[in-house]
């Protein structure tokens, strides 16, 4: 990475006003500097040699709910220890200057903890659980969580309240996210491989609707070709350039 913001980023930053509508799509890379491993590519992105596609599916849970819960329990433990980093805080500051809507693929809740107000949790929350028998959903912040966790109401098996591969995004979250991509002037992509849809498709919606697009990532992603500006480096170091 460079230690100076690219000129185009400075020019864009200087044109931001209270009326500017910014939609931000975040992925695991924004939380990497908080000590939470990403899913793909990084040295510590694997968990006991399992790929996310092998753990985060309804079929994996049906086959081996204990294994899947142990993976979530490990991640809940890491997240409980983690703090928002400078990138999360930058987005919280940005909302004082512009109209910011965050769409996050992350389930860690760090945007909320950093003080961001408008956050759509596209893939749910790791702190939510849902009963497979009675459908009751609630917040559950136990660390560690008993394995296997049971519903307090009907004793059915609980599952994580997140969206797995092959499952649909909650319609109201999807609609609001597409709307935010369609109606923004600036679309910012931070720390995502752009490999998972429909989230990655939001960049296309924004671009085709006329937004300026910019991306912050350690390395080019699968959607970098759709970006007007690419800022290489760790988001915790580069994103503050948006407000400094």
Give the residue numbers marked as catalytic.
123
CB 211 within 8 A of CB 204: no
Nearer to ligand APR, 151 or 231 (CB): 231
Nearest approach, Cβ of residue 20 and ligand APR (Å): 23
Alpha-carbon distance of 147 to 149, in angstroms, equals 5
Give the rounded distance of the alpha carbon of 76 from its chain centre: 15
CA of 13: how far to CAs of 51, 80, 90, 212, 240, in Å? 38, 33, 13, 12, 11
Q: Which stretch binds ligand APR (CB under 6 A): 110-118, 137-145, 172-180, 190-198?
A: 190-198
Residue nearest to ligand APR (CB): 29
Indicate the helix (H) or strand (E) that contains 203: helix 201-208
Is 221 among the residues that bind ligand APR (CB under 6 A)? yes
Among 90, 116, 213, 217, binds ligand APR (CB under 6 A): 217
Nearer to ligand APR among residue 28 and residue 242 (C-beta): 28
H or E segment and range at residue 126: strand 124-131
Nearer to ligand APR, 177 or 234 (CB): 234
Find, among 210, 243, 185, 161, the residue nearest to 23 by Cα: 185
Q: Where are the beta strands (DSSP E) in 17-122?
A: 21-26, 99-104, 119-121
Give the number of other Cβ atoms within 10 Å of residue 217's Cβ. 25
Calpha distance 90→238 (Å, rounded): 10
Q: Which is nearer to ligand APR, 114 or 151 (CB)?
A: 114
User: Considering only residues 22, 29, 140, 169, which one is a binding residue for ligand APR as defined by CB under 6 A?
Assistant: 29
Q: Is 123 in the site for ligand APR (CB under 6 A)?
A: yes
User: Rounded distance, CA 143 to CA 79, Å?
Assistant: 10
For position 91 contacting ligand APR by CB under 6 A, the verdict is no
**Shortest distance (Å) from residue 98 CB to ligand APR:** 21
Give the residue, chosen from 41, 65, 156, 201, that forms a contact with ligand APR under the rule CB under 6 A: 41
- Is position 185 an interface residue for ligand APR (rule: CB under 6 A)? no
Cβ 150 to ligand APR, closest distance in Å?
A: 25
Q: Which of 18, 28, 224 is nearest to 111 (CA)?
A: 28
Given 12, 33, 60, 188, the residue binding ligand APR (CB under 6 A): 33
Binding site for ligand APR (CB under 6 A): 27-29, 32-33, 38-42, 45, 52, 56, 105, 123, 191-193, 195-196, 216-219, 221, 234-235
């Amino acid at each position: 990475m460079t230690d100076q913001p690219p000129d185009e980023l400075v020019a864009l930053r200087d044109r931001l006003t209270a009326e500017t509508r910014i939609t931000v799509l975040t992925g695991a890379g924004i939380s990497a500097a908080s000590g939470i491993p990403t899913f793909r590519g990084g040295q510590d992105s694997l968990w006991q040699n399992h790929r996310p596609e092998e753990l985060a599916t309804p079929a994996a849970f049906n086959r081996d709910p204990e294994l899947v819960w142990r993976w979530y329990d490990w991640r809940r433990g890491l997240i409980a220890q983690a703090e928002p980093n400078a990138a999360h805080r930058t987005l919280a500051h940005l909302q004082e200057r512009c109209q910011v809507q965050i769409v996050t693929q992350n389930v860690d809740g760090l945007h909320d903890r950093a003080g961001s107000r408008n956050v759509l949790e596209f893939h749910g929350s790791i702190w939510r659980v849902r009963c497979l028998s009675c459908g009751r959903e609630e917040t559950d912040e136990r660390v560690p969580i008993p394995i296997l966790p049971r519903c307090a109401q009907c004793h059915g098996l609980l599952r994580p309240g997140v969206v797995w591969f092959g499952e649909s995004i909650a319609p109201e979250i999807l609609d609001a996210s597409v709307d935010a991509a369609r109606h923004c002037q600036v679309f910012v992509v931070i720390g995502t491989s752009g490999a998972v849809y429909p989230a990655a498709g939001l960049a296309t919606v924004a671009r085709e609707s006329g937004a300026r697009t910019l991306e912050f990532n350690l390395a080019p992603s699968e959607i970098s070709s759709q970006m007007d500006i690419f800022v290489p480096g760790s988001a915790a170091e580069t994103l503050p350039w948006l407000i400094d």
